[in-house]
Every structure is written in structure tokens, then in C-alpha cells.
Amino acid sequence: MTLALETQDLTIRFGGHVAVSAVSCGFEPGTLTAIVGPNGAGKTTYFNLISGQLKASAGKVLLHGKDISGLSAPQRSLKGIGRAFQLTNLFPNLSVLENIRLAVQSRSGLGHNLWSIWSSHKGIIARAEEVLEAVALTAKRDLAASALPHGDQRKLEVGILMALEPDIFMFDEPTAGMSVDEVPVILDLIRGLKARSDKTILLVEHKMDVVRELSDRIIVLHNGALVADGDPATVIASPIVQEAYLGVEVAK
């Protein structure tokens, strides 16, 4: 089976600091891989290299076996790499619906159409409304994104990613800062994606119970390097994770 996504020796240096160091890793379609590691381990930077916000100093990113290292972020997005951001990254003064609608519109390829009225494309609006329903934000559709409470902004962030309908879903701490009763909405969405079994999901997450429940596989980044890779139970139990991630001093 060809890999949905693969990184080969992916590296980025900022001056003398190596933020991501020769990470080689393949992701099979239909699987959910959790990426864990302490703060500053390079998880978000690794994501940025895959989705194109940063250009690698060395190494390659392959999508369905094709090298996409030379492509820009928008090109990679159109090829099916979808990304939700760790720090909420919305269109603050546009309505909740418009935030989603823009993502649907991007997929429809209508962006350069400057002679039709945006609201005449009913299909796009209908699709945006479906996504809005899925992230439980229908009641707030006309509010400005900046007027939403933090938890709703996180939901909207995930909604935008859903609306892009990518092949590769990259979630960067989707539940960070959410209240306990809001988390299930997001987790159900991720479970739903996983159940479709044609999507590849990458998830950066700190909550170990979430990771244990959702993931098929865990990889561990530490100081920019891939230090462990395997099924959840084994990786969580391994000394290197206990030390690197959970900060437990392992007896020598």
C-alpha cells in the first residue's frame, strides 16, 4: 500500500538551532497517528513543514508518493493537506458562517470568479451550514468570529478544517483550553473521520487519555528528533516516553 504521507529526513534549522532533525516517518491512509513530546520538541514546526508554512532546510515531504517539497502552502492545501492551528487562527471580523464558507469556496475553485454574487452560490452556503451543524455552532452563525468564546473558536477552527475536506487532517492540540463539556464535540468529529477509514489523521495532543483512546500509533518527538514510534501501549510504556514526555526520571 502506498503511504498517504511521508517525510524523509525532514529538517529545519533556525540559525544554529535544529528545530526538526531528520525526521523520517510514513503515514498510512485510514490511520490516526498521535504526535507527542514535551513543549518545544518540534511538533508544531513539523506540522508547519508538512503543510508548507515553513520550507524545509533539508529532506522531503511526499504526498501519495509524490514529492511536494517545492509547493507553497496554498498549493499543498489544494492538494489535500488540511491543517487546524494550535493558536486559534480565524478571520476575526468575518461571521462564523463566512469563516467556514471561505473554506468551502476554496475547494470549489470559485475564488477568481468576480462577476457572480457570492450569495447566489447556494450549494456552497448549504455545505458550510452542514459543517456548522457538525461543530455545533449553527446558533452563532452570524456572530463575528472574534466575538465567540474560546471554546467555540476552537470548534470553528476544526470546522474550517472539516470544510476543506482534505485527505490529510492535521490537528494541532484541537482541545487545548476547552472546557470539559466541550471536548466531546471535537473528539466525536475526529472519531467520525477515523471511522470513514479513507482519511489520514495526524494529531498533536497533550491529553494522554485522548491519545490512548484515539490513536492507532504514537510517534514521539524530542529535541526535534523522532525518538519512538509504535503502537500506543508500547510507546506509552517505553522508558524514553516516560522520561522525555512525562518527565519521569527513569532509574538507571
Partner 1 sequence: MLNHLLSGDLPRSRVLALMLVVILAGLLLTPFIFPGAKALNVAAKICIFIVLVSSFDLLLGYTGIVSFAHTMFFGIGAYGIAIALTRFGPTWKGVAVGVVAALAVSLVLSLVIGLFSLRVKAMFYAMITLAVASAFMTMASQFSEFTGGEDGLSFKVPELLTPGFSLREAPFLGVSLDGKLITFYLLIAVTVVLFLVMLRIVNSPFGRVLQAIRENEFRAEALGYRTVSYRTSSNVLSAMFATLAGTLLALWLRYNGPDTSLSFEIMVDLLLMVVIGGMGTLYGSVVGAALFIVAQNYLQDLMKLAGTASAGIPLLRDLVHPDRWLLWLGILFILSVYRFPAGIVGNLRLSAWRKRTQAAREG
In the complex, which residues of this chain contact partner 1 (CB under 8 A)? Answer: 51, 53, 72-75, 77-78, 83, 85, 89-94, 98, 101-103, 105-107, 110-121, 160, 164
Please state the closest distance from residue 141 (CB atom) to partner 1, in A. 13
Min separation Cβ 102 and partner 1, Å = 5
Contact yes or no for 110/119 (Cβ under 8 A): no
Positive or negative CA dihedral for 47, 52, 54, 58? positive
What is the smallest separation between the CB atom of 74 and partner 1, expressed in angstroms?
A: 5
40 to 4, 18, 98, 207, 219: CA distances (angstroms): 27, 11, 34, 16, 15
For partner 1, which is the closer residue by CB, 83 or 217? Answer: 83
Alpha-carbon distance values, 11 to 24, 72, 225 (Å): 9, 17, 9
Q: How far is the CB of 70 from partner 1 (least distance, A)?
A: 15
Q: Considering the complex, state which of residue 2 and residue 108 has its C-beta at the smaller distance from partner 1.
A: 108
Residue 191 C-alpha cell reads as 472519531
**CB nearer to partner 1: pick between 154 and 217:** 154
Q: Nearer to partner 1 by C-beta: 7 or 99?
A: 99
Residue 30 grid coordinates: 485510514
- Residue number with CB closer to partner 1 (121 or 207): 121
Residue 213: partners with Cβ closer than 8 Å, 6 or more residues away: none
State the minimum distance, in angstroms, from the CB of residue 142 to partner 1. 8
